[in-house]
Structure formats: structure tokens, C-alpha cells
């Protein structure tokens, strides 16, 4: 487990070259989910987190990767602590139908954290898009708005295995939207197996997402 600080060269080496943070030094897909309340992006470097904290008054950092044994994890925890931000772990997966218990846990978390908040996974495309869509539905938004969080603008490929996340929102839209509030549907009706078995990824998008971009 990495226990160094932001000045530890071993932690930085792991973050930059093993966790590919070198690509995130110059590129970000930062975006607004709910103005003044919730923001999203790829895994922030300490410098980027500081800039976003100062600009948006961030109070909480939500880590959608879950606690990890890597330099990027150690650096963002250290940076959040230095900025006086709460750091919360909320692990989602990107290649399976969202799990009911994780959605409900995120719902409970969403009711209790201090806002404004920033959410991130590694690339800020898939798990972050799922969480952004969930947050919009928690707030009374539509499935169409939730699907907007899963877009090419953030680097999401809906024909790769991560397209199962789109299938989840489409399943709610087709079976319950306008009939049952979203969180009640998740709690009482959501069929994870149905979403998983009906979705089929396509080869080229899968190759690009998994072999070329090497997404988590």
C-alpha cells in the first residue's frame, strides 16, 4: 500500500506511468452535472484538484474507483486532506449491470455528503457517467438526462462493454419511468439479470475501449 505524500517520487512514478496519470496532466473531461452542486471528471492530479477546489468551493471528493493500491489514490487522498475536503470511496464497476446494493449505497451517500462535490473514476467516462446519471435521477431528472452523462464528449463508448450502463438507464426508461420513482424502482423492481443478459457489446468498440485505451 502506498503511504507516501505528494512529494514521494515513488508515489508519483506509480501514478504517472503505471496508472497513466501522465495522460491526465494535460487532458481532462471535467464537466458539470448539477451547477453549483456536483461536478465530474477523470482522476484529478493534486494541482488540478486544488484549482477546482478554489474555483468551485469543493467540499467533497467522491472516488468511484474505490480504495486502490496505487499512487494516484494516495496523491488524491493527500491532496483532499490538505484542502480540507472530505474523501469518500464509492466503488462502481463499468462492465456489468449496476448492482442494486451499490446504487442504494450511493443514494444514501448522496443524502449525507457536503456539497459542492467532485466525482471521479480513472478516465471519467464510464463509472463517473453512471454516477452522474444516477445523481440526476435522484434529483428528479429523466432517463434521457441521465443518458447524457454517458456520451462521447466524456469518452464513453456505448457499443463497448461499458454500454451496459446505457442499457441500465434505457431499461428504467422503458419499464418504469413516469410510473415509479427511480429509487423505488431500484429498490423494488430493478432486474439486474435482465439488463446484463439483453446487452451485447460490439467487437471494434470493445477493442478500442479495452485494448487501446485500456480502461478499467
The span from the first CA to the last CA of the chain, in angstroms, equals 19
Can you tell me the distance from the alpha carbon of 108 to that of 101, in angstroms, rounded to the nearest whole number? 11
Residue 12: which H helix or E strand, with range? helix 9-13
Average pLDDT of the residues in 1-14: 73
Domains of the chain: 9-212 (3.90.190.10)
Give the burial class of 57: count Cβ atoms within 10 A of its Cβ; 0-12 exposed, 13-18 middle, 19 or more buried.
Answer: exposed
pLDDT score, position 215: 62
Phi, psi of 76, rounded to the nearest 5 degrees: -75, -35
pLDDT tens by residue, 10-67: 999 999 999 999 999 989 999 999 999 999 999 999 999 999 999 999 999 999 999 9
Does the pTM surpass 0.95? The reply is no
| Residue 8's pLDDT band (cuts 50, 70, 90) | confident
pLDDT tens by residue, 88-147: 999 999 989 999 999 999 999 999 999 999 999 999 999 999 999 999 999 999 999 999
Strand 31-34 with 38-41, pairing: antiparallel
pLDDT score, position 204: 46
Amino acid at each position: 500500500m502506498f503511504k507516501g505524500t505528494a512529494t514521494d517520487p515513488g508515489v508519483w512514478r506509480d501514478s504517472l506511468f503505471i496508472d497513466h496519470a501522465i495522460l491526465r496532466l494535460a487532458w481532462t473531461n471535467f464537466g458539470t452535472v448539477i451547477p453549483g452542486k456536483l461536478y465530474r471528471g477523470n482522476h484529478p492530479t493534486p494541482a488540478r484538484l486544488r484549482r477546482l477546489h478554489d474555483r468551485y468551493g469543493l467540499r467533497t471528493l467522491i472516488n468511484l474507483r474505490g480504495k486502490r493500491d496505487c499512487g494516484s489514490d494516495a496523491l488524491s487522498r493527500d491532496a483532499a486532506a490538505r484542502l480540507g475536503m472530505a474523501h469518500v470511496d464509492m466503488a462502481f464497476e463499468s462492465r456489468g449491470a449496476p448492482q442494486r446494493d451499490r446504487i442504494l449505497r450511493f443514494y444514501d451517500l448522496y443524502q449525507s455528503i457536503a456539497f459542492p462535490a467532485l466525482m471521479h473514476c480513472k478516465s471519467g467516462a464510464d463509472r463517473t457517467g453512471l454516477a452522474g446519471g444516477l445523481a440526476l435521477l435522484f434529483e428528479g431528472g429523466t432517463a434521457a438526462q441521465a443518458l447524457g452523462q454517458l456520451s462521447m464528449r466524456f469518452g464513453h463508448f456505448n457499443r463497448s462493454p461499458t454500454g451496459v450502463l446505457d442499457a441500465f438507464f434505457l431499461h428504467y426508461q422503458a419499464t418504469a419511468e413516469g410510473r415509479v420513482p427511480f429509487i423505488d424502482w431500484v429498490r423494488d423492481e430493478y432486474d439486474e439479470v435482465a439488463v446484463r443478459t439483453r446487452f451485447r457489446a460490439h467487437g471494434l468498440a470493445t477493442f478500442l475501449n479495452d485494448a487501446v485505451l485500456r480502461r478499467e
